[in-house]
Copies of this chain bind each other. A is one copy, B any other.
C-alpha cells in the first residue's frame, strides 16, 4: 500500500473506528450476508481498500464488531458474587444495560441475526453462551447440570434479542427496559439455580 512505510497517518485509529461502527450498523441492519465490504466502506465514507487494510477479511471484521462492549469475565464475576437468589436479577439487568446501549445493541443484534444463517456467526454465539459468559455463570453458581442451565439461559437471551430488537414484537419492543428486566429475572433465576424438572 502506498505510504505505508511512512507510518500511520494522524487520524488512522479514527478511520478504523469509523469502519467498525459502520460495519456494526450494517451487520445489524442487513445481516452478515448482505452487508458487503463495499457497502461498509461506503457507509463509513472510506475507500474499500482501507477496510481490508485494517481488518483483513469480512469475517475478522465481523468477529471484532460483534464482541461485547464489556469484558465477559467481569460480568461473570459480578453475577456470580452477591446473593445467590438474586443472580437472575443481576444477569437480567446486565443484559438490558448492554442491549439498551446503541453500541451493545448493534453488536449483539448483528451477531444473533447472522447466527440464523451463517455457521461462523453461529459458532461465535455458541462460544459466547457456552464458554465465555453464561456457562461460567452457571458453573460459578454451583447448581447441578451447569451446561444445560447455561444453554437454557441462552434460549431466553437469544429469544429476547430476536423478539424485542430484531423482529420487533409488540408491546415487548416498546416496553420499559426495567419492566423487561423484572419479567426476565425470575426466569433466569429458575434456569440458573432452581430444580429443572
Residues of A within 8 A of B (CB): 30-31, 33-34, 112-113, 115-117, 122, 125-126, 129-130, 147-148, 151-152, 154-160, 162-164, 166-173, 175, 179, 182-183, 186-187, 190-191, 196-197
Contact = CB atoms under 8 A, between A and B. Distances in A.
B172 A152 contact: yes
Contacts of A183: 148, 152, 191, 196-197
A195 to B, nearest CB: 10
B196 A115 contact: no
B122 A151 contact: no
B169 A129 contact: yes
Nearest to A29: B117
Copies in the complex: 2
Given A31-B116, A115-B116, A186-B190, 18 more contacts: A31-B117, A34-B117, A116-B116, A116-B162, A122-B166, A126-B170, A151-B170, A154-B169, A155-B159, A155-B164, A156-B187, A158-B158, A158-B162, A158-B163, A159-B160, A179-B197, A182-B196, A183-B196
8 contacts: A30-B117, A122-B166, A147-B171, A151-B170, A151-B172, A159-B163, A162-B162, A183-B196
Contacts of A151: 163, 169-173
Contacts of A122: 166-168
Contacts of A129: 163, 169
Contacts of A167: 115, 122, 125-126, 158
Give 4 nearest A-B pairs by CB, closest first: A159-B159, A116-B116, A151-B172, A182-B197
A67 B163 CA distance: 19
